[in-house]
Amino acid sequence: MQRKIAIILALLLITSGIILPIRSTMAASSGKNLVVNGKNFRYNGPPISIKINGKTIDSDVPPVLINNRTMAPVRIITENLGVGATVKWDNTSKIVHISWKGNYIKLPVGKSEATINGKTVKLDTNAMIVNNRTMVPLRFVAEAFSMRVGWNQSSHTVSIEKSQQHTDYDMVKHISYDENKNAAVIETGSVRYNTSKLSYPDRIVLDIPDALLENPNGNNFISIRNKNIKTIRWSQFDKNTVRIVVDLDGKADYKVEKAADRLYLYIIPDETPDKPGSNGNGNSNNHVIVVDAGHGGKDPGASSADGLKEKDVNLDIALKLNNLLQNAGYETHMTRTNDSYPENMDRAAMANNLNADIFVSIHSNAFTNNTAVNGTEVLYYPKEQSKELAQCIHDSIMREIGPTDRGIIPRPNLIVLKHTKMPAVIVETAFLTNPNDANKLRNKEFKNKMAKAIFDGIENYFNEGD
Ligand SMILES: [Zn+2]
């Protein structure tokens, strides 16, 4: 009887595309219909309990015993790890990503290989979809995160113990700026750190793992505005990580040095010459502008009947606008300069972090129900300053180009408008769904004119405001 079930299960798994070396049977008990990777089968294994640190865990999809391994919904594990565990399911690649305390696991569904921190490891049981939930081999995941796993055969209970090593946190006592060294000084006994250099905005990030801020509610920010550094800020990034960020003014390199009870994060200025317009004889001003090319990367936005993509048009116009602004001496930052996709929340956060004066987002419109619809509109968050900026840009486009006037439109719920703290607008330049507009958006001269009109609108906005 048991043998038969094992064979049937093996056949089902093999025909459903997972190659599993079935070594054990499932103990016969109450039958249950499961859907494994899209195929039905009757599960006759025992009910499995999971205990994490002694506490029994409930699950809407019960764990199952397959190939002598407990398969459990991935969220059971991550939700019980504590703060900081994240799980992502990529539906396209069918890969489960789990990260916790600096460790990172990639588990492809139906593949007998996974990676732990980039290193490939063999699995005897692979991740699978059971009843629309991603199930992962519990022991493998728990052990990858250095937890102890036990199995009680008579009660069919998996027990997982999180290691209680939380006494050896390093404290981060104080963070300051040493002007002579041009370095952030981090008072900590920790010798471990990870650094990365990020762009848009340019910044250096230093993470100290297994560390706590001694004073998490105290000051967390130093404004420098000196040499290449704008600000130094820090936070308890997650339960176990202290993050220090140095916001740079332009490109710079860095170096970390460990002294007795501190880390020095040196910022080394990049000696390339200043960009045109910022060297004093241009129309120098202090305004900071974030130029956002809508969509990008995986998100193409709207498209014309013949395949012109909004993300490409937006980027073209945004780059041209950025150029005009830089040449006029504005400090500009682009949310993207290539075919990438920053999340909309990140675009807004970037502008907020920069303390930008205005946020200008470039889009092109679509109205598929009626291809006759055409023209330009400017969207703004319903605030006086945003409205004023929208009006200035709108008026300038009407004056210089004169498309169909669709006016300025308050939009309270668009992420990049809603979550930016400064005046923010979206310029919907023209309609990709209208053949005539789409032809304009393909035309370099039109895009130059559009960028120039938006630029003039911005200049008018600042001139009126000053
Ligand atoms: Zn758009």
Taken in order of first residue, the domains within the chain and their CATH numbers are 2-161 (3.30.457.10), 170-269 (2.60.40.3500), 288-465 (3.40.630.40)
Cα distances (angstroms) measured from residue 293 to each of 25, 310, 341, 359: 57, 10, 10, 11
Query: In which residue are the tokens 């202290």 written?
Result: 242
| CB atoms inside a 10 Å sphere around CB 165 | 9
CA distance 219 to 185: 15
What phi-psi label fits residue 402: left (phi over 0), alpha (psi between -120 and 50 degrees) or beta? left
- Preceding peptide of 403 cis, ω within 30°: no
pLDDT value at residue 405: 95
Handedness of CA 293, 297, 298, 300 (dihedral sign): positive
Which residues have a Cβ under 8 Å from the Cβ of 329 and sit 6 or more positions away? 277, 278, 282, 283, 284, 285
Cα 202 to middle of ligand 1, angstroms: 26
CA distance 289 to 454: 13
Q: Over its length of 466 residues, how does the chain's per-residue pLDDT go in tens digits?
A: 444 444 444 444 443 333 333 333 333 335 778 888 888 878 888 888 988 888 888 877 788 888 788 888 887 777 776 656 778 888 888 898 887 766 778 899 988 889 887 778 888 888 888 888 888 998 888 888 777 888 888 888 988 887 655 446 788 989 999 988 999 999 998 878 888 888 777 889 999 988 888 877 777 888 887 778 989 999 888 778 899 999 998 888 899 988 888 999 999 887 655 444 333 333 446 799 999 999 999 999 999 999 999 999 999 999 999 999 988 888 899 999 999 999 999 999 999 988 899 999 999 999 988 999 999 999 999 888 999 999 999 999 999 999 999 999 999 889 999 999 999 999 999 999 999 999 999 999 999 999 999 999 999 999 875 5
Alpha helices by DSSP H, 228-343: 310-327
Cα 99 to middle of ligand 1, angstroms: 32
Cα 312 to middle of ligand 1, angstroms: 11
Phi, psi (degrees; rounded to nearest 5) at 183 = -140, 145
The DSSP 8-state label assigned to residue 348 in this structure reads: H
Cα 269 to middle of ligand 1, angstroms: 37
pLDDT value at residue 84: 60
Decide the pairing of beta strands 288-293 and 358-365: parallel
Q: Which two tokens stand for residue 299?
A: 């998100």
Report the candidate in 394, 411, 405 with the shortest Cα–Cα distance to residue 457.
394
pLDDT value at residue 272: 55
Q: Which of 271, 428, 445, 459 is catalytic?
A: 428
Handedness of CA 287, 292, 293, 294 (dihedral sign): negative
Are 416 and 360 in contact by the 8 Å Cβ rule? The answer is no
Are 320 and 447 in contact by the 8 Å Cβ rule? The answer is yes
Cα 426 to middle of ligand 1, angstroms: 9
Decide the pairing of beta strands 157-161 and 148-152: antiparallel
Report the candidate in 369, 345, 423, 364 with the shortest Cα–Cα distance to residue 391.
423
With H, G, I as helix, E, B as strand and everything else as coil, classify residue 139.
Answer: helix
What's the CA angle centered on 333, arms 332 and 336, to 5 degrees? 140
| CB atoms inside a 10 Å sphere around CB 322 | 23
CA distance 323 to 437: 24
Which residues have a Cβ under 8 Å from the Cβ of 217 and sit 6 or more positions away? none
With H, G, I as helix, E, B as strand and everything else as coil, classify residue 248.
Answer: strand
Q: Which pTM value belongs to this model?
A: 0.44
Does 428 qualify as catalytic in the annotation?
yes
Are 177 and 230 in contact by the 8 Å Cβ rule? The answer is no
Report the candidate in 274, 441, 282, 299 with the shortest Cα–Cα distance to residue 374.
441
Cα 457 to middle of ligand 1, angstroms: 20
Cα 324 to middle of ligand 1, angstroms: 22
Cα 365 to middle of ligand 1, angstroms: 6
Q: What element of type H or E holds 43? A: strand 39-43
Cα 95 to middle of ligand 1, angstroms: 29
Are 105 and 114 in contact by the 8 Å Cβ rule? The answer is yes
- Number of residues in the chain: 466
Cα 455 to middle of ligand 1, angstroms: 20
Cα 293 to middle of ligand 1, angstroms: 9
Are 110 and 17 in contact by the 8 Å Cβ rule? The answer is yes
Cα 301 to middle of ligand 1, angstroms: 5
Q: Residue 110's beta-bridge partner residues?
A: none
Cα 448 to middle of ligand 1, angstroms: 19
The interaxial angle of helices 444-465 and 435-442, nearest 10 deg, is 80
Phi, psi (degrees; rounded to nearest 5) at 62 = -65, 150
Which residues have a Cβ under 8 Å from the Cβ of 392 and sit 6 or more positions away? 457, 458, 460, 461, 464
Cα 124 to middle of ligand 1, angstroms: 46
Cα 432 to middle of ligand 1, angstroms: 10
Are 41 and 133 in contact by the 8 Å Cβ rule? The answer is no
With H, G, I as helix, E, B as strand and everything else as coil, classify residue 438.
Answer: helix
